[in-house]
Structure 1
């Protein structure tokens, strides 16, 4: 097979190994903290609203993914984005325990390998897609993954029929810009900012045939967006905006245009996934 047609099809092929002794020491320290937290934690009894996000569900991680969904469902209910917005906007302390699950970047494995599991388990999900990566040619994907050191190989992205099928089931297709742009870098270019946000929204709605109301800004930290980017997202008509910053969702207080999320990845051990699902580092 030609090199420009090769993609990672398993988590082992996709994720880059930890490189360098400093990174390995940090990783070992992190793993130790997670083990301690896993022994200390108990299932949550108090109400919570917690948003989780990942990037992929490969075939070799399906068993862990299914086990995680089943374990999380013992502790809370998975809700879709409109329900999440309603809970946040309600303004009263929630008397339930709720999870929201999303995936960034639009990788095909989420739909192909994770989709059947989520359908079986009746877990709604959102896929935030960068529209120029859907049905992308090898050159475009090479350029994207060249700037993503977390991956050791390219990962296949959705095609538009898959995106439409996901949205026709229990999935939602949200927006992650056109090119996975860092919005803070282009905030001084109004035309480009509008194209990356409103332009991507129109592309999604044209292909999927449903409104696109949810946005997640690429890279996801506070420095990756500024007031111009936020204003452009609101002006485009989005009614929710997600970060990649860990934090607490508080009904009546959390801004639906700045919703925190906890990252999880399904090649991690189940006990580690549950540590984050129970709100580690939210305090």
Structure 2
């Protein structure tokens, strides 16, 4: 999985100083801005307790509650489906909250907090993950490398130097190397690479439980009034799949959301979501499927007159982001939520 870009050192330092001096509180009272800050979360939990990918943890449960408490008090949290209307309005401190992938901890940790504070969020579901217990490729990569029983993985196609797993940070570097390699490869080659890694690293099978929510959990999220969107069936990098696979990933996702939740896929989030991770084919197929809002994973701040509703920028939230940094982003998103 893509590791969220952390706030710059300058932004982190500035937010801490502004909070300590009281200036941040004043900035939160300056005239509001035009546009919508769309926040992107993935997992809610403690990465230190997991053998899976640490990069997709956005906040601990305690930090997430602090985020939501602040947003409820200081901003207007909107429904993502209301984004077009909000972009057409005047100034306001408007924020939308989104979650990608469909992790179980979204249901266990995020939903109760959202309900408690009356805050709306949209959940983009990878339907194949809810249908079966298999790990996502980024979580499987982390599991295999952290639990490998060998010290070196021999050279493989696309990893000609192999992987040296010796040393205190070697396995973390290997995880990053595999992830970046995977995202560059055509889908079939990427999946073949994972199969060879399973064989060569000799890691034990992941014992469970599944990290994914069930469809019953998704129905409870829907019934709580939260938004539901699509995130493909299997989370491939869409720019790397052929036309037939693209159609099955998008159309199949829409079909499963309709069958299980009775929801038409009007909102969508691109897997990985970098500019190079999807292409015009995906945008046009989503348009043909009736999708009205599609979110990317870059940019941060949706501005009137500058936002393509099928390529909406979002500001990612990472587990190492302080509450002060989140507050600064929400106070001045046009300055601190774009990257």
Aligned to 2:312: 259
Match of 1:145 in 2: 139
- The 1:173/1:142 distance shift into structure 2, 3 A limit, reads closer
Secondary structure of 1:184's counterpart equals helix
The C-alpha deviation readout for 1:127-164, integer Å capped at 9, x for no partner, is 11111111423xx316452346479x987111101111
Residues 97 and 122 of structure 2 are in contact (CA less than 8 Å); yes or no, is this contact kept in structure 1? yes
Q: TM-score, normalised by structure 1?
A: 0.79
**2:48 pairs with 1:54:** no
Tell me which residue corresponds to 1:115: 111
Would you say the 8 A contact 1:217–1:225 is kept in 2? yes
Tell me whether 1:160 sits opposite 2:215 in the alignment.
yes
In structure 2, what is the Cα distance between the partners aligned to 1:72 and 1:163? Answer: 24
| Distance across 2 between alignment mates of 1:144 and 1:69 | 27
Aligned to 2:247: 194
Q: Any conservation in 1 of the 2:77–2:95 contact (CA below 8 Å)?
A: yes
Shift of 1:38: 3.8
Aligned residues: 250
Q: Which residue does 2:86 correspond to in 1?
A: 87
Match of 2:96 in 1: 100
Residue in 1 that maps onto 2:299: 246
Structure 2: runs of 5+ lacking an equivalent: 19-23, 47-58, 143-174, 180-205
Match of 2:160 in 1: none
Structure 2 counterparts to residues 1-283 of structure 1, below 5 A = 30-31=8-9, 33-40=11-18, 41=24, 42-43=27-28, 45-48=31-34, 49-58=36-45, 61-88=60-87, 90=88, 92=89, 94-137=90-133, 140-141=134-135, 143-147=137-141, 149=175, 156-186=211-241, 189-266=242-319, 268-278=321-331, 279=333, 280-282=336-338
* C-alpha contact (below 8 Å) 1:58/1:110 kept by paired residues: no
Q: SS at 1:260's partner residue?
A: strand
* Corresponding residue number in structure 1 for 2:199: none
Asked whether the equivalents of residues 15 and 324 of structure 2 are also in contact (C-alpha less than 8 Å), the reply is no
Q: After TM superposition, give the deviation of residue 31 of structure 1 in Å.
A: 4.1
- 8 Å contact 1:177–1:200 — kept in the other structure? yes
Give the deviation of 1:255 after TM superposition: 1.3
**Whole-angstrom CA distance in 1 between matches of 2:137 and 2:66:** 35
* Residues 47 and 97, structure 1, Cα contact 8 Å, conserved in 2: yes
CA RMSD of aligned residues (A): 2.7
Q: Distance in 1 between matches of 2:125 and 2:337?
A: 27
Q: Which moved more, 1:196-205 or 1:273-282?
A: 273-282
Deviation per CA, 1:142-195: give whole Å up to 9, x if none.
6452346479x9871111011111011121221111110111001xx2221111
- Residue 13 (structure 1) aligns with: none
Secondary structure in 2 matching 1:166: helix
Instruction: Name the larger-Rg structure.
Output: 2
Question: Greater shift after overlay, 175-184 or 79-88?
Answer: 79-88
Structure 1 portions without partners, runs of 5+: 1-15, 17-25
User: Does the CA contact (< 8 Å) of 1:56 and 1:265 recur in 2?
Assistant: no
Cα separation, 2, equivalents of 1:142 and 1:256:
28
Q: Which consecutive aligned stretches of 4+ in structure 1 deviate over 4 angstroms post-superposition?
A: 147-151
